[in-house]
Amino acid sequence: MNPILEHLLEVYATRSRAELQQILSELSRVTLEATLIDLLTIYFNDVNSSALREWLTLRLAGYQVTEGKLGYNGYRLVGPESQRHRIVCEVKPQNVNCNSKRKLNGGGNFSDYTPERFIKDQQNQPQILVSGFAKGRLLYILEFPWRCIEEHLEHKLSERFPGWNSMQSGKQTWQRESGDYLRSASFSFRHYQNCEDIKIHFCDVENSLAQECLTKPFYRFLRTICRSLNEETRE
């Protein structure tokens, strides 16, 4: 982290706004620009927080951010004003630095997933937004209905919680122990690639980072659907 950014963060957190504004006013435009770029680079690549990546994904896909940590990540209102209804979505952003074997596969992950959450998703049918960042650079945003990965998630839960399906039939014969979760319900593009309702909100597959930082199968898939989008746009 550059020393100027370190100093500004310290002042922001420990001193008055007037002092912070005074320090900012004394910095040159070039220094301010470099400091802001450093801050954005750190934030977009933060392995402990996906907040900014989620925000950008929602914004470019036309959703509003849902305030608070509980519930779905975003929503949008559709239909005429007198009959508007809310569509909710879950955001699954991935970020890689391309310096390791981990590459973007068009997927995402549901942390601490449970049968109860599965039933809630089944009832609400949220949209899923998957986005991929390489070194903080956005490469794609895809949207598809939750039902496209429903079978995969049900299979993952059945492996972790045998017998839980009795909940769905209305027979409350199965109970989950408190604190018992499916820690990671991950999926990749292979689990929704045949879905007919995939939307593309952003695609930068021609970026040199795409070929470097995407798995080969997903890179081919993304090129194909992005090419289709470009052809539709030209028409």
Statement: residue 6 has pLDDT above 50: yes
Tell me what pLDDT residue 48 has: 75
Comparing 166 with 152, the larger pLDDT belongs to 152
* Long-range contacts (CB closer than 8 Å, 24 or more residues apart) made by 217-223: 217/105, 217/189, 217/190, 218/104, 218/105, 218/106, 218/188, 218/189, 221/106, 221/189, 221/193, 222/106, 222/140, 222/189
Four-CA torsion 127, 132, 136, 138, nearest 10 degrees: -80
pLDDT per position as a tens digit, 83-135: 788 899 999 999 998 877 889 999 999 999 999 899 999 999 999 999 999 98
Statement: residue 232 has pLDDT above 60: no
- If you average pLDDT over residues 56-70, what whole number do you get? 87
CA 148 to chain centroid? 17
- If you average pLDDT over residues 182-190, what whole number do you get? 95
Alpha carbon distance 55, 60 (integer Å): 9
What CATH class has 49-234?
Answer: alpha beta
Statement: residue 233 has pLDDT above 70: no
Tell me what pLDDT residue 234 has: 44
Beta bridge partners of 131: 93, 141
Statement: residue 151 has pLDDT above 80: yes
- Confidence class for position 229, pLDDT limits 50, 70, 90: low
Please list, in sequence order, all residues whose beta carbon lies within 8 angstroms of the beta carbon of residue 27, skipping any fewer than 6 positions away.
4, 35
Statement: residue 167 has pLDDT above 70: no
Pairing of strands 137-145, 127-134: antiparallel
Alpha carbon distance 11, 15 (integer Å): 5
Domain ranges of the chain: 1-44, 49-234
Tell me what pLDDT residue 69 has: 61
Helix (H) / strand (E) containing 108: strand 108-113
Four-CA torsion 216, 154, 225, 204, nearest 10 degrees: -60
Q: Which residues of 101-123 are buried (b: 16+ CB within 10 A; e: fewer)?
A: eebbbbbbebeebbbebbeebee
- If you average pLDDT over residues 12-16, what whole number do you get? 90
Q: What is the rounded average pLDDT for all residues in the chain?
A: 89
CB 141 within 8 A of CB 199: no
